[in-house]
Amino acid sequence: QVQLVESGGGLVQPGGSLKLSCAASGSIFQINVMGWYRQAPGKQRELVGSINNLEHTNYVDSVKGRFTISRDNAKNTMYLQMNSLKPEDTAVYYCKANTPWEGYWGQGTQVTVSS
**Which residues pair with residue 98 across a beta bridge?**
33, 103
pLDDT score for 111: 98
- Mean pLDDT, the chain, rounded, equals 96
Going by C-beta distance under 8 Å and a sequence separation of 6 or more, which residues neighbour residue 27?
1, 2, 99
Longest dimension (CA), the chain: 43
User: pLDDT at position 68, please?
Assistant: 98
Provide the pLDDT for residue 115: 94
pLDDT in tens, 15-30: 999 999 999 999 899 9
Taking the C-alpha atoms of residue 104 and residue 57, their distance in angstroms, rounded to an integer, is 19
- Looking at the chain, how many residues does it have? 115
What are 28-84's pLDDT values in tens digits?
A: 999 999 999 999 999 999 999 999 999 999 999 999 999 999 999 999 999 999 999
What's the rounded Cα separation, in Å, for the pair 64 and 83?
10
Which pLDDT score, from 0 to 100, does residue 59 have? 97
Decide: 91 and 111 in contact? Cβ < 8 Å: yes
Note the pLDDT of residue 8: 97
pLDDT confidence band for 98 (50 / 70 / 90): very high
Alpha carbons 30 and 113: distance in angstroms, whole number: 35
Cβ-based neighbour number of residue 99 at 10 Å? 16
pLDDT confidence of residue 72: 94
